[in-house]
């Protein structure tokens, strides 16, 4: 019964997902205007939006295995909107860092990218997300043909880069970033057969 309702009202489900993704940002805006961000507001904003992007990225990667497991193929229609929300959170995350931490200075941003490896990884992940977001439109997908899937398979690199970026960005409290790294590894493990195609046959391990 639930499956039938969701399948028939997938547009409603998408609206609900948009609302669920937007709600934390509304909460963050209210916290900002009511001055409830703690002793380091910029750090709070940066971490909130960064973890929001990471959580949404993991949810997006979970859609395919869950849809296959419970045989709800129509859930795949929600991946693009979730992926675009990942990009939105990531852009806000970087925007806060650039505008509030670095006063909007391009030279300082470039300096930070060169000096700090975790920022370098984060920027690489952002550029890949932008490429995936731009090419997510159906019209572009049709024009790209098989190359579209090859490009969007870079999401598997993103799902590694982002938690590593998070892990390297903290100085001592590594427990939570470690959990994210484990989740990322599990998400990739679910796709081990697909990922094996990118490993040369001579060194490719056998997959049961």
pLDDT digit string (tens) for 184-202?
A: 999 999 888 777 766 666 5
What's the pTM value of the predicted model, to 2 decimals? 0.91
CA atoms of 132 and 126, how far apart (whole Å): 10
Q: Which of 78, 20, 61 is nearest to 190 (CA)?
A: 61
* Both structure tokens of 138: 């159906």
pLDDT number for residue 94: 97
Q: Residue 126: pLDDT above 80?
A: yes
Long-range contacts of 188-193 (CB under 8 A, 24+ apart): 188/156, 188/159, 188/160, 190/65, 191/65, 191/156
Q: Residue 112: pLDDT above 60?
A: yes
* Both structure tokens of 140: 């572009």
pLDDT number for residue 10: 85
CA atoms of 51 and 162, how far apart (whole Å): 10
Q: Write the CB contacts of 59 (distance below 8 Å, at least 6 apart in sequence).
A: 82
Cβ atoms within 10 Å, residue 116 = 13
Which range is least confidently modeled, 49-53, 59-63, 172-176? 172-176
Q: Residue 27: pLDDT above 60?
A: yes
Using CA atoms of 83, 87, 89, 91 in order, give the dihedral in degrees to the nearest 10. Answer: 180
pLDDT number for residue 204: 58
pLDDT number for residue 191: 85
pLDDT number for residue 152: 92
Average pLDDT over residues 97-115: 95
* Both structure tokens of 136: 């997510």
pLDDT number for residue 4: 73
Question: Is there a contact between 184 and 159 (Cβ–Cβ < 8 Å)?
Answer: yes
Q: What is the mean pLDDT of the chain?
A: 90
Q: Which of 42, 50, 41 is nearest to 166 (CA)?
A: 50
pLDDT number for residue 70: 87
pLDDT number for residue 19: 95
> What is the separation of C-alpha 67 from the centre of its chain, rounded to a whole number of angstroms?
19
pLDDT number for residue 72: 85
pLDDT number for residue 8: 76
Average pLDDT over residues 77-100: 96
| Helix (H) / strand (E) containing 45 | helix 41-70
pLDDT number for residue 81: 95
pLDDT number for residue 172: 78
Q: Residue 208: pLDDT above 60?
A: no
Cβ atoms within 10 Å, residue 55 = 16
């Amino acid at each position: 019964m639930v499956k039938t309702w969701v399948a028939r009202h997938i547009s409603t489900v998408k609206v609900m997902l948009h609302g669920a993704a937007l709600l934390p940002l509304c909460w963050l805006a209210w916290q900002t205007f009511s001055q409830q961000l703690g002793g380091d507001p910029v750090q709070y904003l940066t971490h909130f939006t960064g973890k929001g992007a990471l959580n949404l990225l993991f949810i997006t990667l979970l859609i395919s295995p869950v849809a296959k497991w419970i045989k709800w193929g129509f859930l795949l229609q929600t991946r693009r909107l979730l992926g675009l929300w990942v990009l939105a959170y990531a852009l806000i995350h970087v925007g806060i860092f650039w505008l509030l931490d670095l006063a909007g200075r391009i030279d300082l941003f470039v300096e930070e990218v060169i000096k700090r490896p975790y920022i370098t990884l984060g920027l690489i992940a952002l550029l890949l997300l932008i490429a995936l977001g731009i090419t997510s439109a159906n019209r572009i997908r049709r024009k790209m043909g098989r190359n579209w899937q090859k490009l969007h398979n870079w999401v598997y690199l993103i799902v590694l880069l982002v938690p590593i970026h998070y892990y390297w960005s903290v100085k001592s409290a590594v427990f939570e970033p470690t959990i994210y790294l484990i989740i990322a590894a599990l998400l990739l493990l679910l796709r081990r057969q697909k990922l094996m195609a990118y490993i040369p046959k001579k060194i490719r391990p056998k997959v049961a």
